[in-house]
Amino acid sequence: MKVLRNVEEALEFTKGNYQKSVGLVPTMGFLHAGHKSLIDEARKNNEIVVVSIFVNPTQFGPGEDYEAYPRDEERDFKLCEEAGVDAVFTPDPKEFYQNHKTYVTIEDLKDNLCGKTRPIHFRGVLTVLTKLFHIFKPTNAYFGRKDAQQFLIVKKAVEDLNFGINIVPCPIKREEDGLAISSRNVYLSEEERKAAPILHKALEKGRAAIKKGMKAEDLIKIIVDEIKTEKLSDIEYVQVVDTKEIKDVDVIDGDVLVALAVRFGKTRLIDNFFYEVWDV
């Protein structure tokens, strides 16, 4: 497995693999079973698999957890090596963004859900991905449905800007008690960790109740009431949006994303499910 520490080395790697199919798995490291499932999917369908491990400063707002974000390079490299990854890309943030002036953003889709409290987040995400896409020229790029708004935004941006990359969504990996696996779960205290599976429980209650023609507010109430049974929870949002514009819907009559962000102490967790009216 090659370890690429700067753009020059990465471009050299890309040149050497010209005409091979490349699967890219962008991550911020501290890898877990969720990331591993993306890597495994990439390994199945590409000649070359590249994992980027980069805590991207441009997607963190002031006062967010950029400095505190967990990092463990040795463990990450081992997981990648064992998963058959061909190269990991882990650039130095200062060098990667040296005298940087150019950003990629998206209209409208960035403004709802997580974008309401993280206004520069998706600009940072699209900027780093644009750089990664240009550097590695992947055939396929793999994204978890856990970050549902990110997935929808990336898919739209890739279409709009004609990147010609296939964006592959992957299912959410969960702990045994239902909590969506996240690098940020290590921030949770023992008590908060015990409380956090309420999010999945609440979403499952919502999933059981959802049906075509239902008012979104009735669905939201079911989910919110369930979450509130956990005293440690502090809801940022529970919303039902359409999957094209990411706008709130009144009535469920097309494909929707049911998404939430909830804090437990200082830790902000997200989770969601997609509901496809036409599939049921």
Smallest separation, CB 13 to ligand AMP (Å): 20
Mask 15-54, x = binds ligand AMP (CB under 6 A)? ------------xx-----xx-xx----------------
Dist CA 83 CA 160 (whole Å):
33
Between 114 and 170, CB nearer to ligand AMP:
170
CA separation for the pair 46, 22 (Å, rounded): 6
Which positions from 126 through 155 interact with ligand AMP, judged by CB under 6 A?
A: 143-144, 146-147
Report if residue 170 touches ligand AMP, rule: CB under 6 A: yes
Looking up tokens 């009535």 gives 251
Nearest-CB residue to ligand AMP?
144
Active-site residue flag, 32: no
Q: d(Cα 189, Cα 203) in Å, to the nearest integer?
A: 22
- Toward ligand AMP, which CB reaches closer, 35 or 155? 35
Pairing verdict, β 48-53 and 233-242: unpaired
Using rule CB under 6 A, residue 183 touches ligand AMP: yes
Minimum gap (Å) between residue 146 Cβ and ligand AMP: 4
Q: Which of 32, 35, 121, 200 is catalytic?
A: 35
Q: Which tokens hold the place of 96?
A: 């990667």
Give the span between the Cα atoms of 170 and 148, in whole angstroms.
10
Under a CB-based contact definition with an 8 Å cutoff, are residues 163 and 140 in contact?
A: no
Nearer to ligand AMP, 181 or 249 (CB): 181
Task: Give the binding range for ligand AMP (CB under 6 A) out of 115-123, 129-137, 173-181, 214-222.
Answer: 173-181
* HEC-encoded secondary structure of 133-202: HHHHCCCEEEEEHHHHHHHHHHHHHHHHCCCCCEEEEECCCECCCCCECCHHHHHCCHHHHHHCCHHHHH
Residue 59 within binding range of ligand AMP, rule CB under 6 A: no
Rule CB under 6 A: which residues touch ligand AMP? Answer: 27-28, 34-35, 37-38, 143-144, 146-147, 170, 172-173, 180-183
Q: Could you list the active site residues? A: 35
